[in-house]
């Protein structure tokens, strides 16, 4: 299987998914490891040391009837090309403008300067785009999803600010700039992250327009769960507790990243779907899509950490290797990690079959972008 490379930025890129032998993807059943389909207790990660790791040679994409796959192929082949580059630029510009307007410089200046320093430092804005794209997929508008899209970016920024602290990953570089605590001190960086977290919920509650209060309450509950002790925080704390362990298996690693990384991507998509008026079945299909691309994001991140330079990444490269952290390349090797990334991408895109193909094009393209990004 060839190495991951940048994709052609059209939706038609998905019609040429290859299997590990290089031939066109066939209807081989593929089921992701069970952490993707269930909520596992933290204790799972530290119990049963005799448990055997999942064999990735047995992983299969969820069963799809041959008839459905033929229909999917027809949809993909007839789909118009999608200008993903312009889509990304346009959405990123809209998100950046909304973030700029959401958090203004005010007293006390120090805390707001710190918040804005990290929030407006750039970034690809993948999470906000996922939120907006999911909302538009089910018939909603960008303006409806924008407060929630900004909220997930505020929370993502908070997680980076805290993750970079000396008590966590102790990093000096983020998005090509000195980390927040290097500019403002550890105390202010902690408080600025806390302020971003609190304001994210305020922003959803007060700035979302044209949506019933019941849906807004559902969105707030979903967001809180995805980033709390059952979501992002759960992944982070298990990651911390795993330091120094001599053996960390695939199940353990997946628990960490389905919570630490995938949970916020899941929230981004699910929030957009709820705000756009999706029914429960559509929400759950999009939730599964998001979990797949969330794990995909981390697999690719692990690959980039050992194959790219700090200058190319805009952050410190090889830090997981130096810290002797367990990663997918460490457990599986580079080639098998790339195979896993391809399979996760395929599984994610299958969840979008049946939606309007034109409206699904941004999510398809975003999945490919995550799979084939180089920083």
* pLDDT tens-place string over residues 323-335: 567 889 988 999 9
pLDDT tops 90 at residue 310: no
Could you tell me the pTM of the whole model? 0.76
CA distances to 109, 178, 199, 262 from 191, rounded to whole Å, are 13, 18, 12, 25
Instruction: Map residue 173 onto helix, strand or coil.
Output: strand
Give me the mean pLDDT over the 306-315 stretch: 66
CA distance 280 to 96: 31
- Residue 244 has what pLDDT? 74
Give me the mean pLDDT over the 275-286 stretch: 97
How deeply is 205 buried, as exposed, middle or buried, from its count of CB atoms within 10 A (0-12, 13-18, 19+)?
A: middle
Give me the mean pLDDT over the 193-206 stretch: 97
Task: Give bridge partners of residue 94 from the DSSP assignment.
Answer: none
Instruction: Map residue 229 onto helix, strand or coil.
Output: coil
Q: Across all residues in the chain, what is the average pLDDT?
A: 81
DSSP state, residue 43: G
Residue 177: phi and psi, rounded to 5, are -130, 160
- Residue 315 has what pLDDT? 56
pLDDT tops 90 at residue 192: yes
- Residue 176 has what pLDDT? 82
- Residue 242 has what pLDDT? 84
Q: Sketch out the chain's domains with CATH numbers.
A: 84-372 (1.10.600.10)
Tokens 């007293």: give the residue: 107
More confident residue, 307 or 216: 216
Residue 82: phi and psi, rounded to 5, are -125, 125
* Per-residue model confidence as pLDDT tens digits over 39-71: 444 343 434 444 343 333 333 333 333 444 444
Under the banding of pLDDT at 50, 70 and 90, the label for residue 245 is: confident
More confident residue, 315 or 81: 81
CA distance 30 to 349: 13
């Amino acid at each position: 299987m060839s190495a991951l490379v940048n994709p052609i930025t059209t939706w038609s890129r998905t019609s040429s998914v290859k299997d590990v032998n290089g031939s066109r993807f066939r209807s081989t059943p593929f089921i992701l490891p069970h952490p993707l389909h269930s909520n596992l207790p933290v204790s799972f990660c530290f119990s049963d040391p005799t448990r055997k790791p999942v064999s990735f040679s047995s992983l299969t994409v969820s069963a799809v009837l041959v008839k459905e796959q033929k229909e999917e192929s027809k949809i993909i082949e007839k789909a118009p090309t999608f200008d993903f580059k312009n889509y990304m630029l346009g959405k990123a510009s809209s998100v950046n403008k909304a973030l700029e307007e959401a958090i203004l410089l005010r007293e006390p200046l120090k805390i707001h300067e710190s918040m804005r320093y990290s929030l407006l430092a750039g970034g690809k804005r993948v999470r906000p785009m996922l939120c907006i794209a999911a909302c538009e997929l089910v018939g909603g508008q960008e303006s409806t999803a924008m407060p929630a899209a900004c909220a997930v970016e505020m929370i993502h920024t908070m997680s980076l600010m805290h993750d970079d602290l000396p008590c966590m990953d102790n990093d000096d570089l983020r998005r090509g700039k000195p980390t927040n605590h290097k500019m403002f001190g550890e105390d202010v960086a902690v408080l600025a992250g806390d302020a971003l977290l609190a304001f994210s919920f305020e922003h959803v509650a007060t700035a979302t327009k044209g949506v019933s209060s019941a849906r807004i309450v559902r969105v707030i509950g979903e967001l809180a769960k995805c980033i709390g002790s059952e979501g992002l925080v759960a992944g982070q704390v298990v990651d911390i507790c795993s330091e120094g362990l001599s053996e960390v298996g695939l199940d353990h690693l997946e628990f960490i990243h389905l919570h630490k990384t995938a949970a916020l991507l899941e929230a981004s998509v699910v929030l957009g779907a709820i705000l756009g008026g999706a029914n429960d079945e559509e929400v759950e299909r999009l939730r599964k899509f998001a979990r797949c691309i969330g794990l995909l994001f981390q697999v690719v991140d692990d690959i980039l950490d050992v194959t790219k330079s700090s200058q190319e990444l805009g952050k410190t490269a090889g830090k997981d290797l130096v810290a002797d952290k367990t990663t997918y390349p460490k457990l599986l090797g580079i080639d098998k990690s790339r195979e896993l990334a391809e399979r996760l991408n395929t599984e994610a895109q299958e969840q979008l079959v049946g939606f309007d193909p034109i409206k699904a094009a941004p999510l398809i393209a975003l999945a490919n972008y995550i799979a084939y990004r180089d920083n």
